[in-house]
Structure 1
Amino acid sequence: MADTLTGDTITPQMLRFERELAAPIETVWQYLVDSDLRARWFMGGPTQLHEGGALGLTMRHGNLADETDPMPERYAPYDGKAWSETITKLEPPRLIAFTWSGGEAGEVTIELDRIGNDRTRLVLTHAGLRGPDDARNFGGGWGSHLAVLERRLEGKHIASFWALHAQAEAAAAKALGLSA
Structure 2
Amino acid sequence: MTDTRHTDQATPATLRFERLLDAPVDRVWQFLVDPELRARWFMAGPTDARVGGCIGLTMDHDRLSDREVPTPEPYRPYIGHSWSERITRCEPPNVLAFTWENGDAGEVTFELTDAGNDRTRLVLTHTGLRGPGDALNFGGGWHSHLAVLERRIRGEGVEDFWALHAQAEARIAEMLQRS
- TM-score normalised per structure 1: 0.95
Report the equivalent of 1:135: 135
Aligned to 1:70: 70
Q: Does 2:109 align with 1:109? A: yes
Give deviations 1:92-138, integer Å, cap 9, x for gaps: 00000000000000000000001124100000000000000000000
Q: CA-atom RMSD, angstroms?
A: 1.2
5+ residue gaps in structure 1? Answer: none
**Structure 1 stretches of 4+ moved >4 Å:** none
Counterparts of 1:44 and 1:52 in 2: how far apart (Å)?
19
Q: Which runs of 5+ in 2 are unaligned?
A: none
Q: CA deviation at 1:47?
A: 1.6
Identity, in percent, stands at: 63
Q: Does 1:118 align with 2:118?
A: yes
The equivalent residue for 2:174 is 174
Residue 9 of structure 2 aligns to which amino acid in structure 1? T
Match of 1:81 in 2: 81
Could you tell me which residue of structure 1 aligns to residue 16 of structure 2?
16
Instruction: Tell me how far 1:49 sits from its aligned partner.
Output: 1.3
DSSP-derived class of the 2:52 partner: coil
User: Does 2:149 align with 1:149?
Assistant: yes
Separation of aligned partners in 1, 2:124 and 2:82: 22
What secondary structure is seen at the aligned counterpart in 2 of 1:177?
helix
Alignment-mate amino acid for residue 23 of structure 1: A
Return the alpha-carbon distance in structure 2 between the equivalents of residues 59 and 7 of structure 1.
26
- Indicate the larger mover: 119-128 or 40-49: 40-49
C-alpha distance 39-4 of structure 1, shift in aligned 2 (>3 A): farther
Letter in 2 for 1:54: C
Shift of 1:156: 1.0
Deviation at 1:28, TM superposition (A): 0.2
Kindly tell me the number of residue pairs found equivalent between the two proteins: 176
